[in-house]
Structure 1
Amino acid sequence: MVIGSSALRRLASKSSLSSRLRAEARVIGEIRHKMTSLALGEIIAIEDTVMTANTVEIAKINLAAGKSEAELVAASEQFQQEFLGKQPGFLRRELLRLDEGNYLDLVHWRSAADASAVMEHAMASPQCQAYFAVMTMDPDKPDEGVAHYTSLAVYG
């Protein structure tokens, strides 16, 4: 027969039971409370993870004729400091070298909405224009080669 914690408390309150039984009833109650708290904490953590799925933006970069990797990095740093790093929802960014003259800009956003909001006004930014000037790109299609993906899991 399993006795619930409330039944144990009632029994423990009777003077005929030892203080040891009262202490055991308290411990059982504390364990149940901690188990409930842990279970709720895990549910909240799972909900937070699902609710805040980050977005990863991948932009393919082809270096413009006559431009160097050093110029790309310098323009990238200015773009980061003066524009991108100040945008709501920006998390982090990496500039990756693929091969000679080809790169990837990997940008992590809090959400797809944050990434989209920045895309809408990036072309009007002088810092963006300076960064884009070292790349080969079609001015009529500034978002060509840019893709957004939802992060499912993050490791490390």
Structure 2
Amino acid sequence: MTMQSVLKRTTRQMETKIEELIQAGEITLIDAEDFPSLLECARRYVETEHRKRERTIVRAKEHSAVERSAKIHSQYREKAAKIVTGVAVAAVKQYIQWTKDLLDSSFFLPDGTEVTWGDATKVQHNLYIGMLKSQRSGLDKNIDLHELAIFDIEEGGASSLRELVTA
């Protein structure tokens, strides 16, 4: 599969291909032959899912469905994250080169311990992943709360939450 042939595919065809790859649970060596194509497929899929999510959120807000909007927002974000992660992990497994620079670079564990990529154990990588997932979860909740605040301010005809609550 060449980059030119990927660009000729419609967005729906790419969505279908990505969903098939994710449902299969792995990306074969044939699928992973053209790393840029996989990334382009994933980018277009996430872009389409983002547009769908935005349209769904607008519709939900128009019908005063705040709870439904937050749930839909979360579901789309989770789906897009799973798809991008699945494609990226599979592609990286095929193409990553553990260079000296990468092996010598470091990261910090939740307890503040600095460890290099080359010396980090499976347990240390899992600790770091857990920390990143926790940070992402907190950011997602914060985003949802700000979106709800905007919705309430607009619905209440106020310029701020304080104005809305004290009115």
For Structure 1 versus Structure 2, the TM-score category normalised by the shorter chain is under 0.3
Report the structure, 1 or 2, having the larger strand content: 1
TM-score where L is the length of structure 2: 0.23
Query: With CA pairs under 8 Å and 6+ residues apart, which has the higher RCO, 1 or 2?
Result: 1
